[in-house]
Amino acid sequence: MGRRTHAVQAAALLLLLAFLHLHVAAAADPPFSCGAASGAPYCDRKLPMERRAADLVSKLSLEEKISQLGDESPAVARLGVPAYKWWSEALHGVAWSKGMHLDGPLRAATSFPQVILTAASFNPHLWYRIGQVIGREARGVYNNGQAEGLTLWAPNINVFRDPRWGRGQETPGEDPSMTGKYAAVFVRGVQGYGMSGAINSSDLEASACCKHFTAYDLDNWKGVTRFAFDAKVTEQDLADTYNPPFKSCVEDGGASGIMCSYNRVNGVPTCADHNLLSKTARGDWSFNGYITSDCDAVAIIHDVQGYAKAAEDAVADVLKAGMDVNCGGYIQTHGVSAYRQGKITGEDIDRALRNLFAIRMRLGLFNGNPKYNRYGNIGAGQVCSKEHQDLALQAAQDGIVLLKNHAGALPLSKSRLSSSSIAVIGPNGNNASLLLGNYFGPPCISVTPFQALQGYVKDARFVQGCKAAVCNVSDIGEAVHAAGSADYVVLFMGLDQDQEKEEVDRLDLGLPGMQESLVSKVADAAKKPVILVLLCGGPVDVTFAKNNPKIGAIVWAGYPGQAGGIAIAQVLFGEHNPGGRLPVTWYPKEFTAVPMTDMRMRADPSTGYPGRTYRFYKGKTVYNFGYGLSYSKYSHRFASKGTRPPSTRSGIEGLKATASAAGTVSYDVEEMGAEACDRLRFPAVVRVQNHGPMDGRHPVLLFLRWPNATDGRPASQLVGFQSVHLKADEAAHVEFEVSPCKHLSRAAEDGRKVIDQGSHFLKVGDDEFELSFMA
């Protein structure tokens, strides 16, 4: 215990010294426009934002206008407009990017777990608080004069459709409604809004950008790249899988940015798709913000895809579709010639610029020195604060998923191990940077799993086993010897950023190289069943370990961020009760026979196509979506007194029903109207109890299932989820608001939302509640 206390005190001292170092240098003034002497209408805070933006745009020359349509927008000195950089990254913490510079007095920012692990907590309040911290720290960096922009290109809310996708780690997982919820609350946190309720769209703490719109989830697979890929997607799949997260991001989160993706969808580049950008996002969803391309996506429309016959055509295609700014210099290079050739109009340019300057004004950058405005009190002292770092630890703790715990192999006993020895084996056991995943910045602290375990066990030894996750060169003999001579063994295996990342999709779902052999031989040599900790974003097939009694426990820890090493140690030693649930299906190795390029969600028995994600997949799994163990046992049941479904007749009376080819009778949700849909809402109350022996945080997941999966219905569908903390033997009631129009509907083949006549079953744990939808 004393050794661990000293380790914690030493870490705290290092953190304090680092914190003091961050603040010794004086902060520079952030860039801004409209100082005290300016009387221009675009500086008048009493005027509507749209009028201010229009006034500024009207004062620009053609060349000045075109210069503003790239992610690096130069200054317009004669008008007092500073340069601006649109590209800043903040996926799971403020990161290195063009617009954010963590190389001055501030040299670190809070690094949260990679998003896929944070999602495993199924805790929207946690997601919101993380967004809050990221927005606050971004503003703190800006106010400290170390940023040239506050437009953060996060979150990534593409559905994790295929387990091989290298960027799946960046997403909240495979369920569209869960991804949409993450998008909404994260965006609200970043932009300074409340977690729910009204949105003050004229006052942004920072700007969040939902990416990559849409049907983007392939980077580089067997020679097929994201730049050239044409995603063939049905209206049904667009309506119930690919687009809902973006709809939620805009309508529920109030996102101020959208990024269109590299790929084409049904032949049309997304950045050149007027139906997608203008009709759907701005029209149907009332999007109020700017739309950026992914980087060099405009050039790719001409240079790679050949969709545009000339560079000027590519510029015209995207501006007329509704895109506003190009990440890259393509529009800045070819915009003037596109205008002079008559391919774009002045209004095409001005529309984009009004959107762009409105965002900068909503950020307060045309209100004089930001230090003296609403968010001016956010300074360097709030970056890497103790509160923020505690939240990073909580996020890692709550996301970790216990996949196997045979014969109570975990938690480890602190009292027994204090006088025992432990061997920590594996390429991921003592690598701090690996814990961060991708799109990261310099973390406030850095503690590896091995370093954290040293605080618990006096006699701890680390053996790498493989030089890296690829594990094509290994020293199995040394690892086996270490395992045989230690009292306990913990293996840290999995993937790294050479195996999965942007532009790198996997070809195999197993552990890379010789890892599986290393794990099995170490388990055979160990005195007791070993503990296997998997550090990876995407799922891996560990059936061999699941079925091996010499592997006592399996823990998935994603890429757990700056506090990940500490969190893993706390879970292994029972200082934290694991409660995370898998946000993706873990498929067997055989799934790689399915082409990654096949975008269909639904199974096709006639061809043997198995479908994708828990909603449609018909095949064997290693672990299911929503799976996760705990050191405690929980029970769930519907509380009959609280669950009160209304009469469904009032919502569909007088409506014309349609019948599918399979004979299913259904009602069009749009025809029902908002008033009828509101009348059908009802509460579903679940009693959940922690039967002990430990206190713990527990996600309660409410699913819908239909009697059968005809007409493209999902096998099951997540309706809602909440995270509740319960003491041992404590019970609580958790209430879900069920909206039949939203939760009980499905997408028809043409994309319309319909509700089917007949039985619908709400399910929580092993308990079900039947709701009959009849005229």
Q: Which residues contact 477 (CB under 8 A, 6 or more apart)?
A: none
**DSSP code of residue 4:** H
Which residues lie below 8 Å from residue 116, measured CB to CB, with a gap of 6+? 160, 168, 169, 170, 171, 172, 173, 537, 558, 559, 583, 584
Q: The tokens 């005190």 sit on which residue?
A: 9
Q: Does residue 659 register a pLDDT over 90?
A: no
Q: Report the pLDDT value the prediction gives residue 270, as an integer from 0 to 100.
A: 98
pLDDT digits (tens, 9 = 90+) for 190-225: 999 999 998 877 899 999 999 999 999 999 999 999
At residue 700, the pLDDT reads 98
Three-state SS at 57: helix
Most confident of 22-36, 89-103, 663-677: 89-103
Quick one: tokens of 414?
């602190």
Buried b / exposed e over 533-566, threshold 16 CB at 10 Å, is bbbbbbbbbbeebbebebbbbbbbbbbbbbbbbb
CB atoms near residue 627 (< 10 Å): 18
Q: What is the pLDDT of residues 264-323, one digit of tens each?
A: 999 999 999 999 999 999 999 999 999 999 999 999 999 999 999 999 999 999 999 999
The pLDDT tens digits for 154-201 are 999 999 999 999 999 999 999 999 999 999 999 999 999 999 998 877
Q: Residue 255 above 50 pLDDT?
A: yes
pLDDT above 90: residue 654: no
Q: What does the pLDDT read at residue 98?
A: 94
The average pLDDT across 410-421 equals 93
Percentage of the chain modeled with pLDDT above 90: 89
131/109 Cα distance (integer angstroms): 13
Average pLDDT over residues 389-403: 98
* pLDDT at site 643: 76
Alpha carbon distance 174, 36 (integer Å) = 50
Say how many C-beta atoms besides its own lie within 10 A of residue 763's C-beta. Answer: 17
Write down the pLDDT at residue 772. 86
Residue type, 75: A
Q: What is the 3-state secondary structure (H, E, C) of 86-122?
A: CCECCCCCCCCCCCECCCCCCCCCCCCCCHHHHHCCC
Which of 71, 217, 294, 317 is catalytic? The answer is: 294
In sequence order, the 6+-apart residues with CB closer than 8 A to the CB of 347 are: none
What local confidence, expressed as pLDDT, does residue 37 receive? 61
Position 747 scores a pLDDT of 97
Q: What is the token pair recorded at 617?
A: 């997949």
Residues 6+ apart with CB under 8 A from 519: 491, 493, 511, 530, 532, 544, 545, 551
Distance from C-alpha of 301 to C-alpha of 258, rounded to nearest angstrom? 18
- Closest-CA residue to 476 (of 523, 438, 429, 508): 523
Structure tokens at 665: 């009778």
Return the beta strands (E) in 432-519 as ranges.
459-463, 488-494
Backbone dihedral region for residue 192 (phi beyond 0: left; psi -120 to 50: alpha; all else: beta): left
Query: What pLDDT sits at residue 611?
Result: 98
At 608-631, the pLDDT tens digits run 999 999 999 999 999 999 999 999
Residue recorded with tokens 């990940």 = 564
In this structure, the number of other CB atoms found within 10 A of the CB of residue 463 comes to 20
Residue whose structure tokens are 């959208």: 258
Query: Quick check: 22 pLDDT over 80?
Result: no
Q: What are 91-115's pLDDT values in tens digits?
A: 999 999 999 999 999 999 999 999 9
- The sheet with strand 268-269 has its strands ordered as 230-231, 264-265, 268-269
Question: What is the pLDDT at residue 4?
Answer: 39
Q: Name the nearest CA neighbour of 178 among 596, 625, 559, 611.
A: 625
Residue 648: the pLDDT is 66
Query: What's phi and psi for 637, nearest 5 deg?
Result: -160, 150
Asked whether the predicted pLDDT for residue 597 surpasses 60, the reply is: yes
Residue 396 has pLDDT above 90, yes or no: yes
Residue 211 pairs in a beta bridge with: 156, 259
Answer whether residue 447 shows pLDDT above 60.
yes
User: 263 near 272, Cβ under 8 Å?
Assistant: no
Question: What's the CA dihedral at 52, 58, 63, 64 to 10 degrees?
Answer: -30
- Residue 294 annotated as catalytic: yes
pLDDT band at 641 (very low <50, low <70, confident <90, very high): confident
Residues of the chain with pLDDT > 70: what percent?
95
**Residue 239 CB neighbour total at 10 angstroms:** 20
- Confidence tier at 5 by pLDDT (50, 70, 90): very low
pLDDT tens for each residue of 499-516: 999 999 999 999 999 999
- The average pLDDT across 361-378 equals 93
CA 101/CA 47 separation, integer angstroms: 33
**How far is residue 725's CA from residue 576's CA, in Å, rounded to a whole number?**
12
Please provide the average confidence, as pLDDT, over all residues in the chain.
Answer: 94
Among 127-141, 179-193, 510-524, 705-719, name the one with the lowest average pLDDT.
705-719
Tell me the residue type at 452: A
CB proximity list for 78: less than 8 A, separation 6 or greater? none
